[in-house]
Amino acid sequence: GQQLNQSPQSMFIQEGEDVSMNCTSSSIFNTWLWYKQDPGEGPVLLIALYKAGELTSNGRLTAQFGITRKDSFLNISASIPSDVGIYFCAGLSLVGNQFYFGTGTSLTVIP
């Protein structure tokens, strides 16, 4: 099965800094989702993207659907301690109609 390339694998930042992470795929996707997961819990949906080039915000989070439809980006502005967790991207493949997930970006925010 396909897994998406997500980077960076981990990030350690100071509170108040901005964060950027991205996902890339060798295949074209028509939907990108971004999730946050706390330890021992299920992922929580943050942002959904449905069109190439689409830019969508949810509070301090902004995500973009790449023009090539093979990548997506998530930015977090002015990070706070509760942003700590693992962020996953998920892409919907046109073949087989399944979601595929990135390997996650672990975010640590230092107060």
Partner 1 sequence: DGGITQSPKYLFRKEGQNVTLSCEQNLNHDAMYWYRQDPGQGLRLIYYSQIVNDFQKGDIAEGYSVSREKKESFPLTVTSAQKNPTAFYLCASSIGRTGQGKQFFGSGTQLSVL
Contact positions vs partner 1 (CB under 8 A): 1, 3-4, 6, 31, 33, 35, 40-45, 48, 88, 90, 92, 97-104
Nearer to partner 1, 23 or 109 (CB): 23
- Nearest approach in angstroms of CB 16 to partner 1 is 28
Distance CA 49, CA 95 (A): 18
Nearer to partner 1, 73 or 88 (CB): 88
- Nearest approach in angstroms of CB 41 to partner 1 is 5
Closest CA to 99 of 30, 9, 22, 46: 30
Place of tokens 């950027």: 20
Nearer to partner 1, 13 or 48 (CB): 48
Eight-class DSSP state of 106: E
- Nearest approach in angstroms of CB 97 to partner 1 is 4
- Nearest approach in angstroms of CB 15 to partner 1 is 25
Report the largest interatomic distance among the alpha carbons of the chain, rounded to a whole angstrom: 44
Distance CA 52, CA 30 (A): 8
